[in-house]
Homo-oligomer: A and B are copies of this chain.
Amino acid sequence: MKVVIIGAGNVATHLAKALHLANVQIVQVWSYHYTNAKLLADQVEATAIESLTSIDEHADLCLISVKDDAIEEIAQQLTHFKGVIAHTSGSVHLNILANSKKYGVFYPLQTFSKDKELSFTTIPLCLEANDNATLQFLKKLASQLSSRVVEIDSNKRKILHLAAVFACNFTNHFYALAEEVLEAHQLEFDILRPLITETAAKVQQALPLTVQTGPAVRNDEQTLKKHEELLLQQPQLLEIYKIVSESIKKTR
């Protein structure tokens, strides 16, 4: 199987490397900036291309892994492509690719950072396609990367992406807010790391509602009040502390 990668950002890079590692041939890489395409192409034994018109017509799959609002424009330049065209976005509808013959979605539900290696084997790969043959094609490819391949339509994928914002992006922001609390008192973030690891580990077996701890779920008014007093100099943190504590109380 021959794959063309469009994009050279975090998702494109991780996907290309994982496919290469699984012995899938990456033939070409394109990016807005040729130097980025070259950088990624060199890592996966592919050729960097300067123009989308140079795409290998014999490739089986073209994976569009660029920012959401650029997908449509790129897809319109690829209508001559005979293989399968798929994007990797959580929130863009399948139909944005409907000008092609065979198209689909190949969405890895994970957070990718450029410098952090990760294994694809447990990453849920969420697939969708315009016909069954294309779906089977994507499934076969996905199962070479991960043991967790799921078929999810565009509407449910949007929900999944939204839930991921709560579970990942917002969670990371609360790590950052914790750092802000510590920093104001010359304490190091490092001391929280084991706690963060364990908090994530706890919900690997249990559901989060069943393992909620802390003053809000205990309705420990005394501690809540003490914490609010400690945040008087940081009004934004105070506001968030109050809102989230109220939200937790409602789950009791």
Tell me the A residues contacting B by CB distance below 8 Å: 67-69, 91, 109-113, 116, 118, 122-124, 148, 150, 156, 158-160, 162-179, 181-182, 184-185, 187, 189, 191-209, 211-218, 220, 222-223, 226-227, 230-231, 236, 239-241, 243-244, 247-248, 250-251
Contact = CB atoms under 8 A, between A and B. Distances in A.
B247 A169 contact: no
Number of copies: 2
A202 B171 contact: no
A169 B226 contact: no
Contacts of A193: 203-204
A239 to B, nearest CB: 8
28 contacts: A68-B223, A91-B226, A109-B191, A109-B195, A111-B198, A113-B213, A123-B194, A158-B230, A159-B181, A159-B182, A159-B230, A163-B178, A163-B192, A164-B192, A164-B195, A165-B214, A165-B215, A166-B175, A166-B181, A168-B198, A168-B199, A173-B248, A177-B247, A179-B207, A179-B208, A193-B203, A197-B201, A200-B200
